[in-house]
Amino acid sequence: MIHVAELLLMPEVAAGATSAVLSAWPLPVGSHFKAGDILAILETEKAVVDVEAETDGILHTHLVVAGTNVGIGVPIALIGAPGEEITDSTATLKELGYHVGVEVTNIQESGPAPIACAVATPPTNGERLFASPLARRISRERGVDLSNIVGTGPAGRIRRKDVDAVMKTLSVSTATTSPAVSSTIIPGAVRQEIPHTKLRRAIANRITESKTTVPHFYLRASMKVDRLMAMRAELNQDSVVRISVNDLLIKAVAAAHMRVPSLNVIWTPDFVVQFTTVDISMAVATEQGLVTPTLRSVENLSITDIALMTKDLTQRARTGSLRQNELEGGSVSISNLGMFGVEDFAAIINPPQASILAVGGIKLEPVVIAGEIALGQVMRATLSVDHRPVDGANAARWLQTFVNLIESPIKILTW
């Protein structure tokens, strides 16, 4: 139970996240809540996250306006025990170390007018360093140390204009001490500068980390898919749920992982984690960028279950309504660009997963069947593998198993 009033802080909703948008307050001020009730709804660049109450209590005060981008660890509400009365919320907040300031933030790269809200900042190095979330974000992006900035806001609060002023000083200093560099912009060229979205920054940071810290190696294979396509056509004749090629590929990946469990792993600094069930992430392209929702225990799902789940996850990925737990986990991803006419490509691993399968389109090509040359449907795939937990021979064995499953597709359904 909550015995005294306390501050509800913005949780770290995803690994490495520095902020999240508080999109809605389901409960009004003064509401009594039970353990497990949803106190706030948050949005990251990829998912929607519910903040659940850990104990029974009462919601005394909202400290931020719905629609605000809030830094991790920043107080968002004042809560207390059931029946606990707070006659002076301002005094209570001060006792808890919360200092009210006003900062204008905007949760979108472009959109509605900025929102004014009260915010506070968590302690730093044993002392309270007061800075708005917007100032903190800009300082991180520009590599500015906030401890060296004197704030001009209320109670010495550091605001955006304070960071901008320091950046202007640094720019002048650099211009007078550094040699001139040529611009990469062609004079007179017509161009448009598109600001980075939060999702695009997240994608850039993640793939840069992966490509620079994970030792990738690649294995490629071609496979005849005439029998796979014939089986798919037969499955769809009487099925209410339409089965896609990708659904069959996901099921085949799960079957291959069960047959070659040395690929069903992730790398951690202290040990390799090997799983007994197969969770598979699938790449979904949205207008905002790439997201990878995860299907759980695919080895136990029917092909119809997989089709229903992939359709649901794809639709919610494109509307931005995935939950955070649906974007976590998995030991392998699958990325299929065949629908865009791509024949062959290699994908970057999504850490801490150990591999990603990149699948190209299906083409009619000359193939050898029973010693005779004929036209057949051919698909190419590239397996990108993390060499730390997986050796080349095991990866080759996995890819051979996958090809055999695709070329004898009834085995996919009978696993």
Q: Which residues lie across from 326 on neighbouring strands?
A: none
Alpha-carbon span 71 to 49, nearest angstrom: 15
In degrees, rounded to 5, the angle at the alpha carbon of residue 287 between the alpha carbons of residues 286 and 291 is 30
Best CA proximity match to 252, nearest among 405, 380, 378 = 405
Selected catalytic residue, list 32, 60, 99, 387: 387
Diameter of the chain measured on Cα atoms: 89
Alpha-carbon span 108 to 386, nearest angstrom: 36
Dihedral sign for Cα 76, 81, 82, 86, please.
Answer: negative
Q: Contact at 8 Å (CB) between 183 and 354?
A: no
Alpha-carbon span 316 to 411, nearest angstrom: 31
Alpha-carbon span 307 to 186, nearest angstrom: 49
Residue 392's φ and ψ, nearest 5 degrees, are -60, -40
Alpha-carbon span 120 to 130, nearest angstrom: 7
CA dihedral 292, 297, 300, 301 (to 10 degrees): -30
Q: Which residues of 11-32 are buried (b: 16+ CB within 10 A; e: fewer)?
A: bebbeebebbbbeebebeeeee
Best CA proximity match to 243, nearest among 253, 230, 254, 255 = 230
* 3-state secondary structure (DSSP) of residue 318: helix
**Quick one: which H or E segment has residue 68?**
strand 68-71
**Whether 99 is catalytic:** no
Q: Which residues of 296-320 are buried (b: 16+ CB within 10 A; e: fewer)?
A: eebbebebeebbebbeebbebbeeb
Count of other CB atoms within 10 angstroms of residue 373? 9
Q: Which residues lie across from 353 on neighbouring strands?
A: 266
Residues annotated as part of the active site: 387
